[in-house]
Structure 1
Amino acid sequence: MEELTRAEERIMQIVWKLKKAFVNDIIEEMEEEPKPPYNTISSIVRILEKKGYLNYKAYGKTYEYYPAIGKDAYTRTTFSKLFSGYFDNSPVNLLSFMVKEQTLSETDIEELKALINKNEK
């Protein structure tokens, strides 16, 4: 699975959310102002189609795009690369990083403890 640029990933997030979309639907869903030009988004969508992330259904000269790769599959692959590249495939290193960076609330920690205890049984 080929890696995505930030712009490509942002568009995939929108298409996963909408399940199917025309380029105008994608632009409409984008939060930034001013909205990016139609041709820019259309070009990125075509790149995503060539990379195998999107399929389309043609309606004359108009194309409706839908995901060819599910968000879960992409998440697993991306996380696996992150996990091995930055945390040496070590859950301890990952959790240690999260605790040190204070990204875990007390509730998060309690839920993780419960999950670990449940997994031990």
Structure 2
Amino acid sequence: MKGLPKGWRIHDGRDPEEELRKLKRRFQAVSDRFHRARRLRSLLRQIRLPALLLTGIFAVVTVLVTLSPWPFTTTVRHLASFPSCGLARAIGLAPAYRGDPGYWAHQDEDSDGRSCETWKSH
């Protein structure tokens, strides 16, 4: 056919615009799969540390409750009184004597075997 540059062909029966749209859709599908997988990996990376921490905390509490000489609810109250005497008083375990639920050595200021005293026994 005259008038076309050398190497150019006429697309008989094919629509180049439609083929281009199909090709763009295929590239978009591949790109979408890639970005979906990347977002999922990012989410898993963000969740990993909190999930490990929660699993560790659950394991520690389970071991402590299992090894405790007290019933479950008393053990949970005992563990809840660990941070401060205010919490121990709020849940009704203060003052506590050595060996009783609610007694923690770091809350026994004068080492007399009684924690979270409201007044000094001198």
Q: Give the structure-1-normalised TM-score.
A: 0.24
Higher helix share: 1
Between structure 1 and structure 2, the one with the greater Rg is 2
Q: Give the structure-2-normalised TM-score.
A: 0.24
Higher strand share: 1
